[in-house]
Amino acid sequence: MMLLNADYKKLDYIQKKLEMIREVKLFFTCFGRYDVVVFLEAESYEKIKNVSSEISGTYGCLGSETLIEG
């Protein structure tokens, strides 16, 4: 799971980017400390790291935190 801080003016762009990433299974916006919650599923920690880096580097993403179960 990833928790994103985002520029609210760029949420549409971030949403389109997340829709194109195969490992993203579900995402939604929320209120509070974070702006977007993203659920990822991948075959390895290395792949999660790569996808997490890709999402963190998305235009409009101001910060992120990745939580891994397993």
* pTM given for the model: 0.93
pLDDT in tens, 23-35: 999 999 999 999 9
For residue 36, the tally of other CB atoms under 10 A from its CB is: 21
Q: Which domain holds residue 12?
A: 2-66
CATH code: domain of residue 9: 3.30.70.920
Give me the mean pLDDT over the 9-36 stretch. Answer: 97
Residue type at 50 in one-letter notation: N
Q: What is the count of structural domains for the chain?
A: 1
Task: Report whether pLDDT(70) > 80.
Answer: no
Which strands make up the sheet holding 61-66, listed edge to edge?
24-29, 36-40, 2-6, 61-66
